[in-house]
Amino acid sequence: MQHIRKFSKTTLALGAALYLFSCREMQPESPVESAQKPPIDQIAPELAYPGEKGKIKKGVLRGTEITYAEIDGKAVFEGDIILSPEQLEHTGNARTDALTKLTSLWSNNTIPYTIDASVKDKQVILAAMAEIESKTQLRFRDKNNRSNPFPISPLIRVNYVTFQVGRGYASSVGPVGGQQFVTLPPWGTKGGVLHELAHTIGMYHEHTRPDRNSYVKINANNMDPADMQNVGKFSDNTHDPLPYRKFDFTSIMMLDSWAYSNNGQPVMTTMDNKTFTVQRDHLSPTDVDAIIAMYSNVLIGKEDNIYLGDSTTGRTVENAGYLPGYKKMFATSEYLYVADKSYLFEMNKKSGTGGYPIWVIPQGTSAIKAFTYANKNLYALQNGYLLRFAFPWGGGNPEKLGGQLWQGASAITYASGNLFIISGDVLYRVSLTGTSSSPIGYGYQGTTELVTLKDKVYALRPSGKLYRIDLVSGTPVLHTNTSYATNAQLASNGKNLLITSGNSLLNVSESGVVKVLSDGWAGATDLAVVNPDVK
């Protein structure tokens, strides 16, 4: 059975469920033969409180037992990650409970920040931010810039980062609510700040990814037992995000062989007992791709796979998995639904979980032609039937709404309390129960692109023209004078229409203004856009 791999990088979650591990997974291994001494240019691991072990505590995070160090009243995880009170809510006993929401993404791909007066050399911070901006879609915005003030409402808690000088390097993972801190030592470097900002974005350490044991050996005899919690690995299960691509020794999030060594001998080696060094100069290519995937807002189906992209910058990366051939996709604010000729997959867009079939398409029947979503129900056109998947999905088969009435159907959308289906040359208004339908317009033969924007329905015809449809009379009204490619794809992000046409991704406003957002979109056979209004 072919599965879609989850969109996540080593230590990141796509929208961000926290990776968890149990210290029970860590077992001492045999010492390395012919151990090498640390190199002169060894890079020490980033630590919030260098030289302090703190009080080792156990906690429960989303039902999984973890170990962390309590130092200066803070929960320090993996050496430099500060868990917030919301992530670890103490219950007054030896165990801790966690809130369901652990980590999220920064809104609008923007990270507001301030720099505390304790920071004397701002250049290392600015250089680290500049590298992230130059290679990804993320942007940093000075919260106190009076020429470009950050909108503040007394009813909304603004998430932002404050850079400050402390004893060592520290940060939280993703936005944790309100003000949070990135701490650097007085001698902080661009590389150290870049590592901490990667945490802030939502990334974890490379050496703790679930498949770590296939690439790295842990030599527990060469480290203090109190440091064991810093080299655990995340649970390898279907509930946590899977790694993004292959293990990356060049990642800005990787630690070297001698991290946490208490005797000068290596703690981590390759599988053939060789030591390795790491870099703190730049984001690796895989780091960059992971961030782009993590903050993507457009999903593109192509003949060879699914690609994740950013609509504004045009940066795209290939899904870490593999799903070639025919596919249809639909995205809500939380879920991505993908159908090939054999399966319907559901994937949680925020947590990265899922990616496994929720329905097996019966053999001998046709593939799903189109999707739409309404009132927590996914509607699909398949083999002439209108299907309804009610969520939360409990398995089994979807409900067939009516008979096999839609053999010629090619497109579906939801607006104003009804479904609208194009079948053959006719546009139908259909009730959500499928019990009633009526033709409201003609001339739609061959139309496969039908979407809703602010309760208005738009159709992209094979002629390459975009129309807004009068839902009372069914009359199409030309929306723009632009002619689009014959294989153009249409979607809505809740604010505007997005169209892939040739090599370009176009933004089309409600008033009909067309703007080229970016290039590099050639070969798209399907388009799904994250729409926060579709829940």
Instruction: Say whether 316 sits in a helix, a strand or coil.
Output: strand
Model confidence, pTM: 0.84
Handedness of CA 363, 370, 460, 333 (dihedral sign): negative
Average pLDDT on 419-432 reads 97
Could you count the other beta carbons within 10 Å of the beta carbon of residue 447? Answer: 19
Instruction: Say whether 83 sits in a helix, a strand or coil.
Output: strand
The answer to whether residues 446 and 464 touch, using CB atoms and an 8 Å cutoff, is no
The pLDDT tens digits for 31-45 are: 444 456 677 678 999
Q: Which residues contact 155 (CB under 8 A, 6 or more apart)?
A: none
Q: Is 196 noted as a catalytic residue in this protein? A: yes
The pLDDT tens digits for 211-254 are: 899 999 999 999 999 999 899 887 765 444 456 778 999 999 99
Q: Which residues contact 37 (CB under 8 A, 6 or more apart)?
A: 264
Average pLDDT on 97-104 reads 36
> pLDDT class for 156, splitting at 50, 70, 90?
low
Written as six digits, the tokens of 34 are 């012919």
What mean pLDDT value characterizes the chain? 85
Inform me whether the pLDDT recorded for 187 exceeds 70.
yes
Average pLDDT on 279-298 reads 92
**Residues annotated in a binding site for Zn(2+):** 195, 199, 205
**Pick from 56, 55, 183: nearest CA to 125:** 183
- Residue 236: what pLDDT? 60
**Exposure string over 497-516, b if 16+ CB within 10 A, otherwise e:** bbbbbeebbbbbeeeeebee
Q: Which residues contact 51 (CB under 8 A, 6 or more apart)?
A: none
Q: Among 46, 131, 196, 206, which one carries the catalytic annotation?
A: 196
For the chain, domains (ranges, CATH) are 55-286 (3.40.390.10), 297-529 (2.120.10.80)
For residue 251, which phi and psi values (nearest 5 degrees)? -60, 145
Q: What is the rounded CA–CA span in Å between residue 487 and residue 11?
A: 37
Select the highest-mean-pLDDT range: 97-101, 149-153, 279-283. Answer: 279-283
